[in-house]
Every structure is written in structure tokens, then in C-alpha cells.
Structure 1
Amino acid sequence: MPSPIDKIAIIGTGVIGSGWTLRLLAKKKEIYVFEPSIKQKKFLLDEIKRTTKSLKNFYKISTISTKKLYFKKTIRDAVKDVDLIQENVPENEKIKKKIVKEISKWSKPNAIIASSSSGLLPSRIQSACKNPARFIIAHPFNPVYLLPLVEIVKGEKTKLDFIKKSEIFYRSLGMIPLIVKKEVEGYLSDRLQESMWRESLHIINENIASTDDLDKAIIHGPGLRWSLMGTFLTFHLAGGKQGMRHMLNQFGPSLKLPWTKLKAPKLTKKLSNRIIKGTKKQSKGKSIKELTTIRDNFLIDLLKLKNKYKI
């Protein structure tokens, strides 16, 4: 579905802000940039040069034009006429509130203000926003110009209409919006990554393995499967013909074993049913056998590709 949002302001051109700009350029949007740092402005221009070949190949376009890329000297000039503002200042609540307050002062009343925050609560940031109903978190993943996921998180005062408009917009950029049901620090993906990161730090601290060992444990094992199925569908297949139901009965008791520094929740009947129901829905009517074949074919292709790009 096409989005009426065509004019976008980018506030801050670090790694994330530049990544947004590259994706928007590939989608031929009109972009207004505010970046007070000459160094960061140069970084963006260098990134455009560095990625042009990859972007043309990825988006199947003949050229990356900067004719509709405008640098503005003030936030006011950058945001006054746009439909959506993507804020990318440092991950500091005080700084973000200050910038969002200024953005909301000069932008159109119904222009969406989207923060690229990777973990701060939207309700706290939007408290400084004029017309906070239009404020959302739109958390992307690096590199923004390639990875499709964007987590959309609403605050207490965000209205559903702006969530829907933003979802349509990000889909028009070729992204996959994931609407987070409840605001929570770290949102979804970063919380999952953080749990692995913390466990990894414990393992390193106790001299159980090296950083290389831990990276290999993911790269050559579950990481390959996760790029297709994620944790739940992977474990659904581990249960054989009965899927997740058998997997929980078989391996549920291991939650009580000291396999992690994280304390697991009690595997209640309610939690089990929620997991079983969820994986059944994910399977979309496909049998374990069908899902296994899809996984195997994917892994064969992925391993061939992986062997082409060795570090």
C-alpha cells in the first residue's frame, strides 16, 4: 500500500540517521537533514558514496540521486514542512526529550515524530512533546538501509491512527514493522539480544570460553536457523511429530537446571498453552515434515552463500 508520506526530516546523521537517509534516498523520498556536526555531515556523504553500488543492486534501481536531499541549518527549517520526522540523537532520555520538544514546536501539528531509540520508554520521551498523540518509537536495525525490521512502540498518549499511518509508511520503504503490544524498556529484539549478551559476559568472566568460541557457537549453529524460523518455530520442530507440545513436556524440566544465569519463569499450563497456540499459528497449517523440508532447503542455500563471504 502506498504511503502519502513523502517529505521526511532526519535529525542527526550518525550511523542510524545516515542509514535511514540511505534507505529514503533509495526510495526517492524528499529528505531534509539537520546535523550541526560537520564531521557527521561528511560521514553521511561518505556513506552515500560507499553504499551506492550496493543500494542500486539491492533496490534494483539505476541510480541514487541526491537532488532531493537538503541540509538545513536549524531544526525549524528541517521539520516545518515535512510529514514525518525521524529523530536519531544520542540514546539519552534528557537529550531526546529536549530535541523532541523542539521538533514538536516547529513541525506541523499532525506530522509524525518517530524516535529511533533502541530502548527508552516512549511515554517518558513524549511527555515533552507538543501534541504527543503523534509520537512513536520506530526502532530500526543496523544497517538500516538493508535490514527490514522496525519496531514500532506507542506511548501512553500515542493515538492508534498515527501507529497505522507509520506502519503503512515503513512498509512502503520495504520494511517489516513489528508493532510492540506494550511499551517496555529495550522493546523486543534488543531484550533478546541483551539476554544472550549478559549470559556471554558471565561465561567469559568465568573463563569457560573465549569470545571466538561463543561467536562460533552461534554462527555455525542456531544462528543459521534463526534467520529463517526464530526460536519458537525452531523448538517446534525439535518436538518431532507432536511439535511444541512434546518439546515442552520433554525439555520443560531443563528450565530448572543451571544452564543460564537468568532465572526462568515457571512453565505453567497457561504459559505452555500460549506457546503451543502461538507456534501452531506460525506454522500456517504446515506439518512438521513440510516445515523441516523448508528449513533444510533454506539452510543449504544459506550455507552456500555463507561460504562465499568468509571473514
Structure 2
Amino acid sequence: MSGTAAIIGGGVIGGGWAARFALMGWEVWVFDPDPEAERKIAAVMANAERALPMLYEAPMPPRGAIRFVSTIAEAVAGADWVQESVPERLDLKLKIYRDIVSHASSEAVIGSSTSGFRPSQLQEGLPDASRIVVAHPFNPVYLLPLIELVPGVKTAPEAVDKAKEILTGIGMYPLHVRAEIDAHIADRFLEAVWREALWLVKDGIATTEEIDNAIRYGFGLRWAQMGLFETYRIAGGEAGMRHFLEQFGPCLTWPWTRLTDVPEFNDDLVDLIAGQSDEQSGHRTIRELERQRDDNLVAILHALKGREAAAGKLVLDHDALLRGPLGDGVPLVTVRRTVPVDWTDVNGHMNEGRYGQVFSDASEELMTHVGADRAYIDAGNSYFTAETNIKYLAETLAAEKFFVETRVTLGAGKKLRLWHEMKREADGETLATCDQFLLHVSLETRRSCPPLAHVAEAVERLAAAHGAQS
């Protein structure tokens, strides 16, 4: 699904929304009176265009255009989705919503990136508030999938359904928050952790770096895959959550935390926190930190994707939605993707083992194309690789786009031979080649045997079309 998105406010969050929509094939119209908005969004887009495609095996849709306009009316006219991401001032938001509602299509979903306001506050005084929802994202919007989707009392159910469909279509996870509450769900949780961290720094218990280390070296790794309650369920051992609660529940009454109190927010506290943060990370630019963050998120999501777990499962499912049929070209383009950052070695180029994965992925796409798909394998039949000969012809770097062209050079009985050429998308240079010989096998006997008739016929047709001699 693609369409037109209007982005009202082009800061860090608005820019992230623009990048997510554009990279998923949507046309994007941006309104932001900041004269630097175009430059700022271009910087966000550069990060997004490098990072997001690394998550997918499937080719990304053609990138949608991002255009900048001088009025809200121009931005929202004809838009399927309108996303407001202006500063957290209710008077400003209400003024903008009056303008949006006056000019947007009656079918458009109108979302707010607000982290604190309730949707009913945003709907107040509007002639038509039925399309307004809170759609609160997390930075970077182009990589993190969670969206807190909060309808107000005046929001139409069909607007919520449409919002879920659109958000899922661009690879995000809409968490339907059923009741309005200040700061929704995730930020209330984060605010509690943040408040306790401020006390630990103010009281001299820990520095900003020590607190960050406590998170990233410990429970943060568990939360990335299991969240909070599932983590504690395991902590209860074989008896599970009930035992955990019985064992650790009483400590909730102990005066460990200071969550009911707030440190005085004054210049001394700001200087203390800012000074420690500068000492911790001030030697690196924000752009350097963003790239490190994005590369690490890609690697983490990739690992979770390989295990079909947590946020990685979302990427895997969305990847499947992006896949299209191979068609009837000669040669067949069996792979079209971007080199993930976790595929590179200490030399900065793609590790040789990953070339094997690329060509394995190419052969699996070819197998699916001829009918030797997952169902065929589950029924006890498959092709096994018997021999490969890979030649490495040029360096392949992280974030480079490439494609693989595949020809069937032999398709006779149980024998299948493929010739793969991996090429850089930017200039068509051949990066590597692979001569791959496969045998059809029975998964029951683990011995070679002829393929079923429909697969054999498809292979023979391809071999003939690709100029092979059977």
C-alpha cells in the first residue's frame, strides 16, 4: 500500500516520519516554516536511506519524492495520512489542527506525534475530530517500529482501522492504546526510569556513563527481546511469574526508589548532567552518534529477525510483504538488497561467508520460482547444493545496494546448475560470481531422486529459455 503523506513539522521526529514514508514508496509533502527544514530532513533522510534497506532481503519499493511547500493547505490537500510533529504546545497544536481539518481530505487519517497530550485534548473545539489520533513514534522513526496509536473519544473506529493498516504497511507496529492517559504507555515507563536516574546522578551515586552502562550491558539486552514481564517470568524459575512475585513482591514496599519525589530542576542539576554527558560523549558529533546508533539497531534487529523474535519478527513479516514474483526475465533477478552493516569484517568490506549466503538466497528464490517452495520442502522434497565455485571480483561495502542475476545452465532430471552474477546497483559492476550445482533429493531417504513433475517441467522450461543444453 502506498499513497501520499503530509508531514507538518520537519524536526527530528517529522524528518523520521518523512523518511519512513518516502522509503516505503509514499509521496511526501512537508510543511515547516524553519528555513533550515529542507537541510535537516535531508540529513535524516541520508541516515535512513543508508540504514533501513539493510534490514530487508526483499527489494525496497521505489523511493517516493519529498517535496516542501509553503502552507499547511498545500501539504495536506489530497493526503492519505497527515502527521503533525510540531513542538509540545497545546495552543500551537490546536491552531494547526484547525488548519489541517479545514483543508485535508475527509478520508485522511490525522496523526499526532505528541508524547504527552491526550487525543481528546487535540480534538477540542474542532468541527470534525473523527479522524484524529495520537500516533506517537520512537526515534529514529525510520528504524524503530513501535507506534502508540491512541484514539480519542471522538475518533471514528474506521479511522483507527485505517491507521493500523497504513502503519503496518510501512513496516511499523501500531500498539492500540485502549484508554487515554497522559504520556500514553512507553513514555510513562521511560519517565520513571529517567527520574530515578536523575536522582542517582544528583546524589552522586552514579555518573551518566555508569547508568548507561548498567542499561546497555545488563537488562537493556533482555528488554530488547523480552520486555519487562517476560524477563521477570524467567527470573521466577520453573515456577514462573507467580513465584517471582511471591519472592520479590515484598521489596516493592522497601524505600529503594525515589519515584514519588522529583529532584529540583535548576541550573546546578543541568550543569551536572550536561557536564557528565559532554565528558561521556562530547568527543563525537551528533551525526556520528546517530550512525553508530543506527548501525547497532540494524545489527540487533537483524539478529532478532534471524531468530524470528520480537521486533525482528515484524521486519521478517514486512519483508515477506515487500517480495514480488521473479517474473520471466532472462536472466532472472533473484536478489535485490542492501549490504547490512553486520555483514562486514575488520577490513570494512563484506565477509566472504556472506557471499555464500547471497548465492544461497538466490538459489532459494529460484527454487520457490519453480515450485520447490516451503510447502514442497515440508512434503519431503528439496534441492541440495553439491558444489559451488565462488569468485570474488570487487569489494562490497556496507550499505551498498546490489542485485543478483541468475541463469539456469543445466536442468535435467535431478540435476540443476545455476550461474549467479552479483552486481553493484550503482554502476552494474560485477562483484562476484558463483557456479552452483544442485541435486534434487528426498528428505525422507536423504538421497538424490527426480523432482516432482511440476518442478521438473518448470526447471526444464527455464533451462531452455536461458539457453542451456539439457
Q: TM-score range by the shorter chain?
A: 0.7 to 0.9
Following superposition, the deviation at residue 9 of structure 1 comes to 0.7
Q: Could you say if the C-alpha distance between residues 162 and 51 of structure 1 is closer, same or farther in structure 2, counting changes exceeding 3 Å?
A: closer
Native 8 Å contact 2:9 2:30 kept in 1: yes
Native 8 Å contact 1:25 1:64 kept in 2: no
Deviations along 1:11-66, one digit per CA (max 9) or x if unpaired, are 11100111011111111111111122220121112332344332332345768866
Counterpart AA for 1:49: A
2:25 maps to 1:34:
no
Alpha-carbon distance in structure 2 between the residues aligned to 1:46 and 1:210 = 31
Following superposition, the deviation at residue 238 of structure 1 comes to 0.9
Of 165, 169, 174, 2:166 maps to 169
Rg bigger for which structure? Answer: 2
2:235 maps to 1:260:
no
Q: Could you say if the C-alpha distance between residues 67 and 152 of structure 1 is closer, same or farther in structure 2, counting changes exceeding 3 Å?
A: closer
Of 188, 191, 194, 1:194 maps to 191
Alignment size in residue pairs: 266
Native 8 Å contact 1:100 1:128 kept in 2: no
Higher strand proportion (structure 1 or 2): 2
**Paired position in structure 1 for 2:14:** 17
Of 86, 89, 92, 2:86 maps to 89
Q: Could you say if the C-alpha distance between residues 102 and 32 of structure 1 is closer, same or farther in structure 2, counting changes exceeding 3 Å?
A: same
Following superposition, the deviation at residue 68 of structure 1 comes to 2.8
Gaps of 5+ in 2: 261-303, 310-341, 347-470
**Paired position in structure 2 for 1:240:** 237
Deviations along 1:163-183, one digit per CA (max 9) or x if unpaired, are 111011100010011011111
Matches within 5 A, 1:205-244: 205-244=202-241
Three-state SS of the structure 2 residue aligned to 1:38 is coil
Q: Could you say if the C-alpha distance between residues 203 and 49 of structure 1 is closer, same or farther in structure 2, counting changes exceeding 3 Å?
A: closer
Alpha-carbon distance in structure 2 between the residues aligned to 1:50 and 1:167 = 26
Deviations along 1:188-216, one digit per CA (max 9) or x if unpaired, are 11111000000111111211121122111
Identity %, equivalent residues: 39
Native 8 Å contact 1:135 1:155 kept in 2: yes
Deviations along 1:260-302, one digit per CA (max 9) or x if unpaired, are 1136xxxxxxxxxxxxxxxxxxxxxxxxxxxxxx9xx99xxxx
Q: Could you say if the C-alpha distance between residues 65 and 39 of structure 1 is closer, same or farther in structure 2, counting changes exceeding 3 Å?
A: farther
Three-state SS of the structure 1 residue aligned to 2:198 is helix
Native 8 Å contact 1:122 1:155 kept in 2: yes
Q: Could you say if the C-alpha distance between residues 63 and 247 of structure 1 is closer, same or farther in structure 2, counting changes exceeding 3 Å?
A: closer
Native 8 Å contact 2:20 2:48 kept in 1: no
Alpha-carbon distance in structure 2 between the residues aligned to 1:31 and 1:236 = 43
Alpha-carbon distance in structure 2 between the residues aligned to 1:259 and 1:41 = 47
**Paired position in structure 1 for 2:154:** 157
CA RMSD of aligned residues (A): 2.3
2:54 maps to 1:57:
yes
Native 8 Å contact 2:22 2:64 kept in 1: no
Q: Could you say if the C-alpha distance between residues 215 and 50 of structure 1 is closer, same or farther in structure 2, counting changes exceeding 3 Å?
A: closer
Three-state SS of the structure 2 residue aligned to 1:37 is coil
Deviations along 1:88-136, one digit per CA (max 9) or x if unpaired, are 1111111111111110011112311101111111101111433101100
Higher helix proportion (structure 1 or 2): 1
Alpha-carbon distance in structure 2 between the residues aligned to 1:43 and 1:98 = 24
Q: Could you tell which deviates more after superposition, 30-39 or 252-261?
A: 30-39
Native 8 Å contact 1:10 1:34 kept in 2: yes
Native 8 Å contact 1:115 1:138 kept in 2: yes
Of 108, 118, 127, 2:124 maps to 127
Gaps of 5+ in 1: 264-293, 299-304
TM superposition score normalised by structure 2: 0.54
Three-state SS of the structure 1 residue aligned to 2:17 is helix
Native 8 Å contact 2:28 2:64 kept in 1: no
Alpha-carbon distance in structure 2 between the residues aligned to 1:66 and 1:159 = 31
Alpha-carbon distance in structure 2 between the residues aligned to 1:53 and 1:262 = 40
Counterpart AA for 1:46: A
TM superposition score normalised by structure 1: 0.80
Native 8 Å contact 1:148 1:174 kept in 2: yes
Alpha-carbon distance in structure 2 between the residues aligned to 1:58 and 1:242 = 37
Following superposition, the deviation at residue 67 of structure 1 comes to 5.7
Counterpart AA for 1:189: A
Matches within 5 A, 1:40-51: 40-51=37-48
Native 8 Å contact 2:23 2:63 kept in 1: no
Alpha-carbon distance in structure 1 between the residues aligned to 2:253 and 2:56 = 47
Alpha-carbon distance in structure 2 between the residues aligned to 1:65 and 1:171 = 18
Native 8 Å contact 1:33 1:71 kept in 2: yes
